[in-house]
């Protein structure tokens, strides 16, 4: 099958009839639900741009498996240039949606599992790499969206999976059969799972020999028997039910996370990519984390571009755009945003080939990239809120603005510079609110801190990759210390 259109993608998700719960009820039609639909539109943009000749070089690539033209989101990177184009693609999509477009995690999982299965096969003479290549070719040929699922609920963070009071707090194998395995557990904070055709599961931490049942990686369709999803709550989410479009800030696009429950799900042998090889589970975790931390140097920068633009427009509507301190604040926002982009480009440019033949980013620089992302978007958001002014969080509702009696007062007293409609001012302020405090903040502000691992997780990797011993040797040599 060739590249899907966005319409074909939307209909393909509709046909899955996924089991999704929200606000205590089963969602009868997730595709058209007003709360969920903006997140589906964001994923659809990855299909729409892939068919736009203007973005063909960024959005599509020749498959290393079958030589066919595929969406870059289903690709295993073949060069440092591929890694760089990934970052540029993610920035573009952030600019187009001002939200999380959800396919990064699957792409990052592909590349981590591809190289790790190759090395597991080398040690254990398994067939995981062949299994995964067949799965990936199926994904590429059908242009599927795949959710990468790594994060377990974890329970007591001080205990290994096998030591938990409830063994299901890390997803595990509960039965091994001749034709496959049965798994039970859950994956938390799953970005885009409701908009995905398949889910690619990975272990969440390095494990010891006693954790064999928890060291598992596999892929299954999202509508498999035993899988259901509990949709994550977002700030201001029910504004989407009010029927307007000003108060939501970003009416068309959004993101989502969900708790995904695996209630004794069967996985056939040809969909298994790791099954008890605990000594190599940590490598898979480390590589996926590196790829995903690289991603933030693209997607968050694209959303940052929109936020910087919105702040500049707000300053213009407020009549403050000529003030020197406003100009300086916009410069600072741009400086911070481009610094994140530099990190994403740097860890990509320093990428190297794995044993399996795909390319991996520089792990140290990828973790530096994400460490910066845990800080800079918060400052960018703070400055945007500063420029916007207090009206951003105190303005009356859209219903009041459109009320025949009240609207004229809102229009009169909240007008900014002459010639700018009050509605335009309200719209740009709501967009800033959406990105910094509302539902889009899940994919920008808060996710910048916790996505792809906590800030401390990156610091641990920076310590491992920083090669302090070598730096000490350099200093001793220059100082003349034998």
266-284 pLDDT, tens digit per residue, is 999 999 999 999 999 999 9
Q: Do 262 and 55 touch, CB atoms closer than 8 A?
A: no
Instruction: Output DSSP code: residue 171.
Output: -
Find how far residue 14's CA is from the centre of its chain.
22
Give the percent of the chain with pLDDT over 90: 97
Q: Spell out a b/e string for 308-319, using b for 16 or more CB atoms within 10 Å of the CB, else e.
A: bbbbbbbbbbbe
| Whole-number CA gyration radius for the chain | 23
> Among residues 87, 90, 104, which one has the least CA distance to residue 342?
87
What does the pLDDT average to over 351-375? 98
pLDDT of residue 1: 63
Instruction: Tell me if 191 is assigned to a ligand binding site.
Output: yes
Calpha distance 97→82 (Å, rounded): 22
Q: What is the pTM of this model?
A: 0.97
Calpha distance 474→279 (Å, rounded): 33
Dump pLDDT digits (tens) for 412-428: 999 999 999 999 999 99
Dump pLDDT digits (tens) for 91-135: 999 999 999 999 999 999 999 999 999 999 999 999 999 999 999
Domains of the chain (ranges; CATH) run 6-281 (2.40.110.10), 283-479 (1.20.140.10)
Beta strands 227-231; 20-22: pairing state: parallel
How many other C-beta atoms lie within 10 A of the C-beta of residue 66? 10
Q: Which residue has the tokens 């595709």?
A: 31
Give the active site residues: 100, 104, 191, 257, 292, 296, 299, 447
- Who's near 367: CB < 8 A, 6+ residues apart? 290, 293, 458, 461, 462, 465
In the predicted structure, residue 439 carries a pLDDT above the cut 90:
no
Query: For the purposes of burial, counting CB atoms within 10 Å of the CB of 254, is it exposed (0-12), middle (13-18) or buried (19 or more)?
Result: buried
Secondary structure in 3-state letters for 111-166: HHHHHHHHHHHHHHCCCHHHHHHHHHHHHHHHCCCEEEECCCCCCCCCCCHHHCCC
Dump pLDDT digits (tens) for 307-324: 999 999 999 999 999 999
Beta strands 272-275; 216-221: pairing state: antiparallel
């Amino acid at each position: 099958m060739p590249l899907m259109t966005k319409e074909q993608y939307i209909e393909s998700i509709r046909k899955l009839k996924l089991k999704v719960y929200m606000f205590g009820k089963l969602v009868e039609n997730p595709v058209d639900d007003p709360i969920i639909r903006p997140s589906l539109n964001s994923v659809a943009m990855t299909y729409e741009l892939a068919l736009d000749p203007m973005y063909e070089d960024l959005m599509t690539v020749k498959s290393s498996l079958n030589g066919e033209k595929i969406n870059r989101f289903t690709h295993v990177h073949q060069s440092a240039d591929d890694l760089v184009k990934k970052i540029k693609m993610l920035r573009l999509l952030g600019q187009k949606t001002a939200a999380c477009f959800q396919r990064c995690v699957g792409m990052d999982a592909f590349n981590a599992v591809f190289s790790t299965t190759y090395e597991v096969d080398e040690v254990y003479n398994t067939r995981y790499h062949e299994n995964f290549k067949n799965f990936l070719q199926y994904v590429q040929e059908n242009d599927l969206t795949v959710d990468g699922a790594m994060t377990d609920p974890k329970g007591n963070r001080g205990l290994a999976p096998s030591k938990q009071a409830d063994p299901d707090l890390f997803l595990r194998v509960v039965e091994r059969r001749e034709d496959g395995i049965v798994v039970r557990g859950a994956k938390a904070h799953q970005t885009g799972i409701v908009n995905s055709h398949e889910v690619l599961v990975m272990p969440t931490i390095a494990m010891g020999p006693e954790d064999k049942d928890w060291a598992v990686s596999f892929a299954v369709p999202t509508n498999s028997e035993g899988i259901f999803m509990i949709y994550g709550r977002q700030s201001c989410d029910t504004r989407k039910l009010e029927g307007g479009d000003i108060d939501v800030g970003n009416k068309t696009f959004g993101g989502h996370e969900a708790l995904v429950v695996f209630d004794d799900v069967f996985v056939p042998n040809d969909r298994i990519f790791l099954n008890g090889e605990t000594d190599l589970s940590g490598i898979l975790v480390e590589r996926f984390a590196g790829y995903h931390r690289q991603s933030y140097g693209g997607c968050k920068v694209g959303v940052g571009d929109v936020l910087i633009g919105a702040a500049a427009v707000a300053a213009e509507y407020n009549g403050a755009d000529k003030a020197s301190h406003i100009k300086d604040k916009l410069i600072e926002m741009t400086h911070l945003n481009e610094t994140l982009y530099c990190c994403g480009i740097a860890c990509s440019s320093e990428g190297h080939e794995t044993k399996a033949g795909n390319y991996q980013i520089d792990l140290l620089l990828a973790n530096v990239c994400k460490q910066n992302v845990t800080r800079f978007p918060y400052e960018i958001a703070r400055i945007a809120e500063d420029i916007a002014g207090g009206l951003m969080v105190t303005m009356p509702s859209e219903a009041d603005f459109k009320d025949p009696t009240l609207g004229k007062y809102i229009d009169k007293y909240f007008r900014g510079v002459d010639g700018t409609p009050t509605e335009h001012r309200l719209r740009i302020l709501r967009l800033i609110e959406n990105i910094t405090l509302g539902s889009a903040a899940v994919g920008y502000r808060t996710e910048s801190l916790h996505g792809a691992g906590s800030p401390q997780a990156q610091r641990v990797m920076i310590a491992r990759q920083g090669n302090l011993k070598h730096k000490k040797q350099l200093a001793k040599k220059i100082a003349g210390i034998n």
